[in-house]
Amino acid sequence: MLFGHPDFAGHEQVVFCHDGAAGLHAIVAIHNTNRGPALGGCRMWPYAGEAEALGDALRLSRGMTYKAAMAGLDLGGGKAVIVGDAKTDKSEALMKAFGRAVDRLNRRYITAEDVGTTVADMDTIRTVTDHVVGVTGGAGDPSNSTAHGVCIGILAAVRHKLGRDTLDGLHVAVQGVGNVGRFLCEYLNKAGARLSVTDIDRAALERAERDFGAAVVGPDEIFGLDCDLFAPCALGAVVNDATLPRLKCPIVAGSANNVLDAARHGAALRRAGILYAPDYVINAGGLIDVARFALGFDIETARAKLHRIDGTLTEIFARADAEDRPTADVADAIAEERFR
Apex CA 241: angle with CA 278 and CA 66, to 5°? 25
What CA–CA distances, in Å, run from 296 to 30, 46, 126, 144, 191?
22, 35, 18, 20, 32
Dihedral over alpha carbons 217, 220, 223, 227 (to 10 degrees): -10
Q: Is 226 left (phi over 0), alpha (psi -120 to 50) or beta?
A: beta
Tell me the sheet residues that pair with 97: none
* Residue 320 near residue 311 (C-beta atoms within 8 A): no
How far is residue 248's CA from residue 236's CA, in Å, rounded to a whole number? Answer: 19
Task: Judge whether 129 and 103 are in contact, CB under 8 Å.
Answer: yes
- Contact criterion met (CB below 8 Å) for 182 and 208: yes
* Catalytic residue chosen out of the listed positions 67, 79, 96, 161: 79
Nearest residue to 54 (alpha-carbon basis) of 17, 29, 32: 29
Catalytic, 79? Answer yes
Q: What is the dihedral of CA 70, 76, 77, 79, to 10 degrees?
A: -140
Residues acting as catalytic residues:
79
